[in-house]
Amino acid sequence: MPVTSQTIFNDAPWMAPGLTTDARAALLDAALTEDERYSLLHSQWAIGFLPDAPLPDGAIPAAGYVPPIPRLGIPGLYETDASLGVTNPRNARPGDTATALPSGLAMASTWDPGLAHDAGAMIGDEAAKKGFNVLLGGGMNLVRDPRCGRNFEYLGEDPLLAGVLSGEAIRGTQSQGIIATAKHFVLNDQETGRHVVNAVIDEAALRESDLLAFQIAIERGAPGAIMSAYNKINGHYACENDALLNGVLKGDWAFPGFVMADWGATTSVRAAANGLDQQSGEQLDFRVWFDEPLRGSVAAGETQPHRISDMSRRILRSMFAAGLFDRPLPEGQPIDYAAHGRIAHRAAAEGIVLLKNDAGLLPLSGEAKRIAVIGGHADVGVLCGGGSSQVTTGKGHAAFIHAGGEGAMMAMASEAYHPSPPLAAIKRAAVGARVSFANGRYPSEAATIAAGSDIAVVFANQWTTEGADVPDLTLPSGQDALIEAVAAANPNTIVVLQTGGPILMPWLERVAGVLQAWYPGSQGGEAIADVLFGAACPSGRLPVTFPQSTAQLPRPELPGLGKRWAAPFGPRIDLSRAPGFDVAHPEGSDVGYRWFARMGRPTLFPFGYGLSYTAFSYANLAVTGGDTLTITFDVTNTGPCEGIDTPQVYLSSRRGAPIRRLLGWSRLRLKPGERAAATVTADPRLLADFDTDRRAWHVPEGRYEIALAHSAEDFALHSGASIAEKWIMP
Ligand code: BGC
């Protein structure tokens, strides 16, 4: 494997003490030759397994590579995926494994910014020690459709929750001296036709939702890079969207870093003038736009010459800001996989959401002498999502099941299991019990085993992947029938779900318990057993709404489903000529729970929901107004064991009109009987509307009612206060 470490040029003018990052970048940029400058503007696909895209000289096999410029001590860019751990696509670095976090939705279910930070730092440490200096995480698109195949990589449906957690993960990653990336900018909310779909949305609505999530993440995390998405927004490809890249990101928000394209997403040379700074994975695009064609465009007067050095300067600036010129990467140093495993374990356990627990059946006590474990390949491992984020874990994958399906993406996709089998973990935890297993292929067999047991634990899986959406929200492969058969045979049936996102539960009334374990990562089996047997008190809260049916969604039919749309993998395609389709966003900024509240539609499980083995009560709610809302309250653990609560504050009405927006939350670990005080201060942008004429946030004067809540639908206490009119810069 090539070594990335570079010579540190301590005597160079751009390294002089006291210079700002901007000044350093400008000095170094001025020293570049034209060829060197252009070499920074496009990365190569570094995966190395396609005949027309062999591994570039000097690259580490991974997602992307920009060669170094040794003359000036500029290190290469070594880019790896991503948000859930350092990936090793198709074992391109033979035998190299990494720690796998649980899915993004599991992390979001913890509502824990500190944990997101530690997890980001963990990935950053592994990436740097493997020789990478650019992490292509964090993924943070809002979950607008529960059928999106990549929801598992993201952080839920709320802009504040996703923005805060993503910002913290990015901050954690960059604390390890490498660049992190917020992606996919923006509105990449379905995988179906992702290279040609045009997301149509009102500008104010976009500001108040997906853009606000990015804005918060950028403010908190200061990522060196933003990855622009595949799709179009309001008629323009994300990678060449002047209004979003130059107007919002670099203009209104003054983002100083660089914008890189998603892989195979650069469709023209125009993208440079419109705000894209770096073409990615150039072999996947129709052309290497950001070399000869871009030089031609400058010569023809279509792209301003100063824009070219703006592009390279932004890239160099992020490299300086991350510390890439200050010290070599800690490449090859030992990785503390045991400590990292503990972070993954904690995230998995605290991300599990207890959705149902009739008569306190859970946690399982020593009285359960016969436990039937059924289905979900629980004897093999825990499920992980597919695509570029899929991590190969410490002991290698336990099983690969080829997914099949049309297109190059599906040809590469496989349903993989991390070798952390829940069955083994349950056997270890169920001291003195007889644990039997049925694979669940035959419901009748499973029912027979369940009937002869005190407890039946059914594992039900929904595999999802980048590149494809699920057509509906039913559990695949007859698992609903399996659960029905087991529940009919044994009333003490507990369902453990490993799904990419929300699913429907036609059997809900007939089972005693439901655990949402998402994709629980490299320590997932142990985390599931911890919650089942009470070593961990469940504390996860849903970061997405579970609907009762797809008919309730803003788009009851998934747009474009069932048609073949252009995909960039395989023969290079001129995407600018590929047929596409529009997707309307009638929900606007009312994503998820806000949509359900606006439409008065009942949910299966609301956003923010999650049960515990203990109980919490709220008191002394007080709200002060003025500049923004400050909310104070007390939380008491009134139940039998130590646990974590996540009291949530929602805006419930503004100037007499109903509205629902999460304003903030607290996260408290309390012993039985313990009481603690909490304070939530609302970001005033969450009280505001975005005014597109004045290009600013407007907080209207008036009375604002809030609710202190257990979920978006379970309001415990109400109060309110008045606010003065306020304009906030964008
Ligand atoms: C994904 C990105 C990823 C990139 C590089 C693309 O297919 O959309 O999220 O970072 O590949 O692997």
Residue type, 176: Q
pLDDT at 2: 45
Catalytic residue among 81, 145, 262, 277: 262
Output the pLDDT for position 469: 96
Q: How far is the CA of 519 from the centre of ligand 1 (A)?
A: 19
Atom 5 of ligand 1, nearest CA residue: 63
pLDDT digit string (tens) for 603-628? 999 999 999 999 999 999 999 999 99
With tokens 């309110």, the residue in question is 720
Query: Is residue 218 pLDDT above 80, yes or no?
Result: yes
pLDDT in tens, 438-453: 999 999 999 999 999 9
Question: For residue 273, how far is its CA from the centre of ligand 1 (angstroms)?
Answer: 23
Read off the pLDDT of residues 353-369 as tens digits, 9 standing for 90 and up.
999 999 999 999 877 79
% the chain with pLDDT above 90? 90
Q: What is the mean pLDDT of the chain?
A: 95
**In this predicted structure, what is the pLDDT of residue 604?**
98
pLDDT in tens, 408-435: 777 778 899 999 999 999 999 999 999 9
Atom 3 in ligand 1: which residue has the minimum CA distance? 388
- Which residue's CA lies nearest to atom 7 of ligand 1? 263
What's the CA-to-centroid distance between 139 and ligand 1, angstroms? Answer: 10
Q: How many CB atoms lie within 10 A of CB 602?
A: 10
What is the distance in A from the centroid of ligand 1 to the CA of 255? Answer: 22
**Closest ligand 1 atom, residue 188 Cα:** 8
The sheet with strand 616-624 has its strands ordered as 616-624, 630-637, 675-681
For ligand 1, atom 11: residue with the closest CA:
263
Confidence at residue 406, expressed as pLDDT on a 0 to 100 scale: 72
Return the number of other C-beta atoms located less than 10 Å from residue 359's C-beta.
Answer: 9
Q: Which atom of ligand 1 is nearest to the CA of 47?
A: 12
Is 4 a residue whose pLDDT tops 60? no
* Structure-token match 């323009």, residue found: 236
CA-closest candidate to residue 224, choices 266, 282, 183, 284: 183
Beta strands, E only, 529-637? 546-547, 581-584, 603-605, 616-624, 630-637
Residue nearest to atom 4 of ligand 1 (CA): 263
pLDDT band at 113 (very low <50, low <70, confident <90, very high): very high
Average pLDDT of span 30-35: 98
DSSP 552-565: GSSSSSPTTTTS--
Asked about 469 being catalytic, the answer comes back as no
Sign (positive or negative) of CA dihedral 523, 524, 530, 536: positive
Q: What is the pLDDT of residues 330-341, one digit of tens each?
A: 999 999 999 999
Q: Which residue among 389, 391, 466 has the greatest number of ligand 1 atoms within 8 angstroms of its CB, and so is best to mutate?
A: 466
Q: What is the mean pLDDT of residues 286-311?
A: 97
Residue 1: the pLDDT is 45
Q: How far is CA 683 from CA 159, 164, 253, 414, in A?
A: 12, 11, 16, 42
The band of 10, judged by pLDDT with boundaries at 50, 70 and 90, is confident
Of 667, 661, 637, nearest to 111 by C-alpha is: 667
Atom in ligand 1 nearest the alpha carbon of residue 82: 10
Confidence tier at 568 by pLDDT (50, 70, 90): low
On whether the CB atoms of residues 516 and 542 are closer than 8 A, the answer is yes
pLDDT of residue 576: 82
DSSP 74: B
Q: How far is the CA of 156 from the centre of ligand 1 (A)?
A: 19
How far apart, in Å, do the first and last CA atoms of the chain sit?
A: 46
**Given a cut of 70, is residue 179 above it in pLDDT?**
yes
If phi over 0 gives left and psi between -120 and 50 gives alpha, with beta otherwise, what is residue 90?
A: left
Query: Distances from the Cα of 127 to the Cαs of 137, 178, 183, 642, in angstroms?
Result: 11, 8, 18, 35
Q: Kindly give the pairing relationship between strand 726-728 and strand 179-185.
A: unpaired
